[in-house]
Chain A
Amino acid sequence: MITAERKPLEELIEYIKPFKRILLLGCNECVTVCAAGGRKEVGMLASGLQMARLKSGTSVEIQQHTIERQCDPEYVEELASMIDGADAVLSMACGCGVQQIAMRYKDKPVFPALNTKFMGASERQGVWAERCQGCGDCLLGITGGICPISRCAKQLMNGPCGGSTTGKCEISEDVDCAWQLIWDRLKTLGLTERYLDIIPAKDWRTGGGSGPRKIIREDLAE
């Protein structure tokens, strides 16, 4: 999923300062799962913003709403009348959702309430870790299911480097050495001979090196 964290309240208060009617918009997908921008977080933020405003002697009208996906035009379209009644939108979606709203409602100020962080997986309750950088040419099939792009600090294609000590990366004791994990997993799978193959330098054109990327499915595209 795409993970995100709420921006500091101070920054958000500053964004909405000039406005009287705010639409605080949550998203039911990734940001709900990582507890950053779902219905509950919308409620928490609405309360927080309202209290901060009251404390400074003003108040703000905050309409709370959460849609299925802010990154899909079908759902964004349904917001038309609601957005009409607001001076500005504070979106609790990832960057994709915020941009979708901004693109559809061109004359309405839209602000991000979250900082979008990374594509990650849940390690345990309340902990998410980076697992994919969307490089566009997945290596997991030859690295034992462990990604050296998102999990190695140097993104080494042939590791580990000299900074790997007792299975940990030199950047922090809390970070596993991805190449140690890859080696351990290849051993478990009985595929250690694969480790001897030199993986060629990565072609980053698929990973954003050629500018913004797009997928077009001819059979689906209208």
Chain B
Amino acid sequence: MENFEPVIVAFCCHYCAYTAADMAGSQRLPYPSNVKIIRVPCSGQVDSLHIVKAFEKGADGVYVAGCLDGDCHFKNGNVKAAKRIAYVQKYLEEIGLESERLEMVNISAGMGHRFAEVASTITEKIRKLGPSPIKASASL
């Protein structure tokens, strides 16, 4: 378990979190390489199916990063995303996965520091939870 390096998929909105990740990079802020970023046009565009598939394919954790409340480029995509996350969290529990493996976060384009901090916090949380039981069984 000590050597466990989680695979974390981060769906990042182009208008905020993705730009924040860019900023974290230009500011030379370190964040764990465990986080695999997928750029999306809006957090509201991340479908339940994308999230579930990420877990099925072996992700140990997934988070969706959208704009701050009221700042969505498409009006309320981030609010819709948050509702969807809550729905998928319940589904994960039904499947037998810890709902903590999935999270919604809000980051503005200027928050490079917060991006790096969120990436580290979530990586640590997933590290403590341990490998996804799906991945462990699938590799047998």
Contacts and interface: CB of A to CB of B under 8 A. Distances in A.
A131 B137 CA distance: 46
B104 interface: no
Contacts of A10: 94
Interface residues of A, number: 16
A50 interface: yes
Contacts, number: 49
Given A9-B94, A9-B95, A10-B94, A51 B49 contact: no
Contacts of B124: none
A34 to B, nearest CB: 15
B134 A51 contact: yes
A47 B56 contact: yes
Chain B interface extent, by class: 10 to 19
Nearest to A52: B95
Nearest to A48: B95
A48 B49 contact: no
B52 interface: yes
B69 interface: no
B25 to A, nearest CB: 32
Interface of A: 8-10, 40, 43-44, 47-48, 50-52, 54-57, 59
12 contacts: A8-B94, A40-B47, A43-B49, A43-B52, A44-B49, A47-B55, A51-B96, A54-B133, A54-B137, A54-B138, A59-B137, A59-B138
